Every structure is written in C-alpha cells, then in structure tokens.
Amino acid sequence: MIVEYLSDAFNHFSLALQGLWIWKTMALMAIGVAAGLIAGAIPGFTIAMAVVLTLPFTFSMPPEQGVATMVSVMVGGLSGGLMAGILTGIPGTPSSVATTFDGFPMARGGRPGLALGLGVWSSFFGGIFSAICLMTLAPQLARVGLEFQPWDFFMLVMFALTITASLAGRHLVKGLIAGALGLLVRTVGEDEAVGMARFDFGTDVLLSGFDFIAVLIGLFAFSQLLSDVRDPDKARISLSEQSAVKARIDHIGALKEIAKRWIVVLRSATIGVFTGILPGAGGSVANILAYDQAKKASKTPEKFGTGTPEGVIAPESSNNAVEGGALITLIGLGIPGDVTAAVMLGALLIHDVVPSPTFITDEPVLVYSIFTAFFIATFMMIILQSFMLRVFVLVTRIRMYMLACVILGFCGIGVFALNNVTFDLWSLLWFGILGFLMRQFGFPLAPMILGVVLGNIAELNLARALAITPDLTPFFTRPWSMFFLIIAVFSAAFPLFQEHRGRKKWTLFYMPLSCFAASIPLFMMGGIPRPIIASIVVGFGAWTLWKRWKSGFELDASLAPEHVYREG
C-alpha cells in the first residue's frame, strides 16, 4: 500500500516537474520570486496584495504555469519582508514584525550581513520544512476530508469564519460582523442553486454579482494603499530617507550559526505549519509565537531584543512555513488557511479547478505542480535574494505616494482584465472605500475576505444537506459537524478566556472543558486512531483539572493580561 502510494506520488511528481521544467515557466517563476521579494520588502505592501495583483497576468497561462507563478510570488513575498525589517527596522510585511526585534539591533550593531544571512537561510529551511509537510500531510488530510458530508462542510466553513473572527480578540463582535458581511456580499446576484436574482435592486449589472477578486483587491489592496498615504509627510518620504540601507549577505557565517541552532529552526517551522493550517491565523501570528517560544526556551532570554541570532532565526523560519500549512487545508479540504491562500483559491477557480477533498485524486498533476513549484521557488529565493537586495536599495529611493499611485493604476488595469467588464472597476472602488472605512473603524478584514470566498461553499453545502434531508439535527449530531461546532464555540469564547484569565474562576475550567467536549465527537468517529487521540485529549483535560484541584482552584495572577503585557 505504502509502496503503491509512493510510486503514484513519484509519477505525479515527475509529471509535474516535466510540466514546470520549461524555460518559460522557470522564467515566470523567477520573475514571480523576484517580484515577491520586492513586494514583501516594501512596508505597506502585503504578500496577499502581491499575489492578488499577479492573478490577472495568469489568465492566459495554463493552470500549472499560472499557479506556479503565483506560488513563486507568495514564496518571494514571505522572504522579502526581512530585508526592510533588518535594514530599516520597518517590517515589510506583518509576518516579519518579530524579525525586526533582533534583526535591526544586529544590523545596527555592525552585523547587517549576518542578520540578513540568518533571515534568508532560516526562511529557506522553514520553506523546505513546510513544503515537505505540504507534500505529506495534504494527501492525508484529503483522505479525512473524503469522509465529510455537506453538513460537515457547512460547519467547517462556520468554524473557519468563527476562528478568524476570534483573532480580533476583544473585538470579536466586529470580527463576526465582518464575516457575516462577507457572506452577504457573496449572495448578491443569481443564486447558485436555482438561478434566481437576489439583491439586484432592479439593475442588470448586479445580476452576475460581484467578482470576488475585484472585491478582494478593493477590500485589501486598495484600502491598504490609501491607509499608507494618509499622512502627507510620510507619503512624501522614501524608505532610504528614514534609515540607511546598505549590506551584503554573509551566507557562510549564517549557515554556521543556524547549524548550531537547528532545533530553533525545527520548532519554529513546526509552529509556522500548524499556525498556517489554522484558518485565518497566518504569518503575522506565527512569527510572534515562534519568537516568544524561542525566547522562553533560550538559556539567555535576556539577550533577546539586543541582536541575538535566535531572535532572527525563529520568526523567519516560522513565517515561511505558514504558507505550506495554509495550502495543506486548501488542497486537502478546499478551505483556505489565510488571505493569501484565499487568493490562490480564486486563481484555481478562474482556471475551472475547484479544490475539494477529491482535488488530489482528480487533478494529481496540478496538485503536484503546486508542491513542486513551492520547492523550486524556495531554492530560487535563496539565489535571487542577494541580487534583489540591490534592487531593494533602489526601490527604497522611491517615494511612497509614487508607489501607491502606480499600484492604484495597476489595480485598475488588472481588475478590468478579470472579466473585461467596467463594472468590476466600480466594485473595486466601492469595496476600496468599504475596506478603508472598516480599517478606520477597527473591523478586521480577514473574516470578511474569508466570508466572501467561502460564502458560496457554505450555501451550496447547506442546499445539498437539505436536499438529502430537511432534518437539521445532522448539523449537530454528525461527529465531524459536532467537532467543528464545538471548536467553533470554544474558539469564539477564547478572547473572553484570555481577557479574564488569572482573574475569574471559570477560566480554570476552560481548558479541561474544551478537551472533554472535543473528545466526544472524536470517540463517536470510531476506528482505532481517533478514539486513541480522544483518550489522550481527555487525559490532558483530566490532568489539567487535577492540577487545578491540587492547587485549590487558586487563580494565578501572573496569567492576567495586564501582567503579561507588563512582562512583554
């Protein structure tokens, strides 16, 4: 069985490699990595934005080539943020915020080459680890996904939206409102089940609904650019005027340092992959989490923040590993792990490829092309990084307002090219305004974007479920539905738990209770491995409860949020 699986995998891999190993695709991938590196290095220009803007270029390409180009931009973008973060102290992307904590002091301390080398090689190893996880875990997850029925898919979408909204922390309600708005946007136009017009308000243009890529670019890219130029003084200065930008990468020194700290790379990359699998979390969470864990595990935590190598290795290994994790859920279940993966889903849909648990069996060559492109792009990133550093120095001389204006112009051309319809440009403008207002009023955009992307999947599965039986109880009684419902409820309560932790008694029972509740559907699934996992989960819950009982259910004040902030 394993031999057969490996043989199939090898065949698909060689077919995918044959498809990609042509000069045109390789050239496009190299351009993609280079563009991603520069886009990631420009503060205010996110990876998702870069991938979104690449999408219109891929229309005329075959699916394998188009997706490989987008994967390359994504991989480049993940590594590009470190250049700005280390050399200027301004993180290029939210995924490289923690890199600046030690990377910038190291560069300021006279070792910019080593800091860059550590960042580049940690990104490389994180990316390779993530690509291996992607190749091995995605098929397994898809196998689990084959058990899913419409009720389970519907609840999975609800879970993805809830957990994304819960990342808004104290603004959970705003996150949930944003998610619901996203779902509502997707209902405009003809419904997919019976083709009836909805919310067209008597106009023909709204009959076909909003193109979701135009909505994504508007909500995300357009609104971000406007936020970047809000301050007229900052908009008129270039990055190089804010800080000196000059360095050469010290590859050998960095590799020696990383070899001594390989465990940090492994731990941080694992954190990255699992954060990526979690819908909505993404690199911005993973790099901070990995930095925090590296600091906790270090024998010299007091050196963190002064330019210690672990402080660069941890965030950079984790943020590059995130996208592999996000692609695992996209390929295995058809549910994007973050905004960038959501755009990748859009790209696949444009090429008439619908990711689902059967995606790997239906389109093995395309799936293996994604895996292979991820690998190749990671190697290209290492080669191109030194060269792009020089280009980055040139880009830093351009003023922010100039970049914003040119990119707005590109957004216009790119969005029109989606369907050759002017209405998409109007969608871009209206959703740009909406996204900008949402940012200003503190509404997170990620739940809305996931709502727009997953809206029709939720509705179609609801329709399928009701076509099988009008009974609603399977939504709550089927093991997988119940599992997603339980973790959705606990993830929604998580911000409340964090707020009252160490201050209110009920928080002592949150963890044990969530373990006991999550184990019920796992036991119901039957077989051998899942009840074993359920027993471990119950055991962990019982052990936590026993520890609390032993301490007389005493509250630990050091866990209270304000104490944690003070420590930080």
- Smallest CA-to-CA distance from 412 within 422, 402, 403, 400 is with 422
Round to whole Å and give the CA distance between 421 and 418: 8
Instruction: Name residue, tokens 């002064």.
Output: 306
Q: Phi and psi for 399 in degrees, rounded to 5?
A: -75, 150
Round to whole Å and give the CA distance between 232 and 224: 15
Round to whole Å and give the CA distance between 452 and 271: 28
Inter-residue contact 56 to 19 (CB < 8 Å): no
Query: CB 11: neighbour CB atoms within 10 A?
Result: 13
Q: What angle do CA 51, 57, 61 make, to 5 degrees?
A: 115
If the CB atoms of residues 222 and 359 are measured against other proteins, the closer one turns out to be 222
- Smallest CA-to-CA distance from 50 within 347, 419, 398 is with 347
Round to whole Å and give the CA distance between 22 and 218: 34
In the complex, least distance from residue 434 CB atom to other proteins, rounded to whole angstroms: 11
- Smallest CA-to-CA distance from 337 within 321, 326, 345, 346 is with 326
Instruction: Name residue, tokens 């007229």.
Output: 232
Helix, strand, coil shares of the chain, percent, nearest 5, are 80, 0, 20
Residues in contact with other proteins by the rule CB under 8 A: 56-57, 59-60, 173-174, 176-177, 180-181, 183-184, 187, 191, 193-194, 196-199, 201, 225-227, 229-232, 235-236, 399, 401-402, 404-406, 408-410, 412-413, 416-417, 420, 422, 425-426, 429, 432-433, 436, 441, 458-459, 462-463, 466-467, 470
Round to whole Å and give the CA distance between 532 and 266: 26
If the CB atoms of residues 420 and 558 are measured against other proteins, the closer one turns out to be 420
Contacts of 391 (CB under 8 A, 6+ apart): 34, 38
DSSP secondary-structure letter at 223? H
- Smallest CA-to-CA distance from 161 within 436, 480, 455 is with 455
3-state secondary structure 24-76: HHHHHHHHHHHHHHHHHHCCCCCHHHHHHHHHHHHCCCCHHHHHHHHHHHHHH
